[in-house]
Structure 1
Amino acid sequence: MTTLRLRPEGPADAGPVRRVLAAAFARPDVASPPEVGLVDELRDSDAWIPELAMVTEYGGEVVGYALLTRVRVRGDAGVAPALALGPVAVAPHRQRVGHGAAVVQAALEAATELGERLVVVLGNPAYYRRFGFDRADRMGLTSPWSGLGEPWQALALPPTVSGEGPLPRGEVVFPPPWSRV
């Protein structure tokens, strides 16, 4: 019986993750989708949190990926940490069987265990709503993508003892690699 295994990305996973991203985001007009370069650049940045780069393995093959990286929320109360979800990818031959939802849920659970409080994402509202995401503007969050409306979303993670208190509000500042996507 083939089982699904969820785990943090390891050093040997960089190549398989690149292949999943390239296949999932393939476009005929682009040799290499920007999401591949984004992940490579984020790995080499201070936004990288190794425990929050999650892979889905099925039959020993990496078939899914979800990445949470550090962003900052700049508001009246100062600067607060938050996370950005993305990219999320599943190899085309394993899509629509739950691997994407499983790897996103695993990443969100890992973030909660680390005491994180806030995650933002730019993506399909119908898909991300299942995890509890809602419009980010309703949470007082802005970004370069605020003008897109519903796809700009946020999720308040369950508080831990160390994470209690109000959620940050203000402008979400992404690390430089995000500006090239």
Structure 2
Amino acid sequence: MYELRPEVPDDHWEVEALYDTCFAPGRTALSSYRLREGRDPVTGLSLVARDESGILGGAIRYWSVSVGGAAALLLGPVAVHPTRQGEGLGALLIASSLERAAPLGWTRVMLVGDAPYYGRYGFTRLDGVEMPPPTNPDRVLGRALLPGAWDRVRGAVHPG
């Protein structure tokens, strides 16, 4: 059993250590990190999952971005500690955080990731949305939280 709660400043370094454990040391060199540098994650959507002993099992963060002038959320990173993988914790973090987004006023979410994995959460390829290079356009995915939210949204992604 996990308790999901919004990430707070006291969680920051523990979450960073989890990301370091789960991803390659060069994770901050990825193009999506240029959209995150020097900014705080979105309050209320960036979540941590702790077990009954308070041990961090997983985390997910969101960032505000602008796509061609339209506000959007950038999902990521999402990570589950290697000892907790296979328990459905990643799915819980993604589904729970997406459920919270629309009530907070967000209409669209994007990410850079694998279509087969994120497709089960309603993400599809975004044509015409340009992440900073080098990003494979086939990995730029989006999900409308309200019908039509991605219609006619095109252009470069910038910090929001």
Once the 2 structures are TM-superposed, how far is the Cα of residue 22 of structure 1 from its aligned partner? Answer: 1.1
Distance in 2, Cα, partners of 1:11 & 1:100: 21
C-alpha deviations, 1:103-122, integer Å up to 9, x for none? 11122111111121111110
1:19 matched to 2:27:
no
CA gap 1:43/1:34 in 2 versus in 1, 3 angstroms: closer
Q: Are the structure 2 counterparts of residues 6 and 154 from structure 1 closer, same or farther at C-alpha, using a change threshold of 3 Å? A: same
Give the TM-score normalised by structure 2. Answer: 0.83
Cα deviation, residue 16, structure 1: 1.7
> What is the percent sequence identity of the aligned residues?
32
Q: Distance in 2 between matches of 1:129 and 1:49?
A: 23
Question: For 1:21 and 1:114, how far apart are their aligned partners in 2?
Answer: 26
Residue 100 of structure 2, aligned match among 105, 110, 115: 110
Paired residues, number: 156
Q: Cα–Cα, structure 1 residues 152 and 146, in superposed 2: closer, same or farther, change >3 Å?
A: farther
Is contact 1:67-1:88 (8 Å) kept? yes
Who wins on radius of gyration, i.e. which is larger?
1
Q: Show structure 1 runs of 4+ deviating over 6 A.
A: none
Answer whether contact 1:52 1:69 (CA < 8 A) is retained: no
Change (3 A) 1:43 1:33: closer
Partner of 1:142: 130
Q: Would you say 1:170 and 2:160 are equivalent positions?
A: no
Is residue 49 of structure 2 the alignment partner of residue 51 of structure 1? no
SS in 1 for 2:100: helix
CA distance in 2, matches of 1:132, 1:146: 25
Deviations 1:49-80 (A, max 9, x none): 21121111123111111111100011xxxx22
1:38-117 map, 5 Å: 42=36, 44-45=38-39, 48-59=41-52, 60-74=54-68, 79-117=69-107
Point out where structure 2 has 5 or more consecutive residues left out of the alignment.
Answer: none
Determine helix, strand or coil for the equivalent of 1:174.
strand
Tell me if 1:152 matches 2:150: no
The two structures have a TM-score, normalised by structure 1, of 0.74
**Runs of 5+ consecutive residues of structure 1 not aligned to the other structure:** 177-181
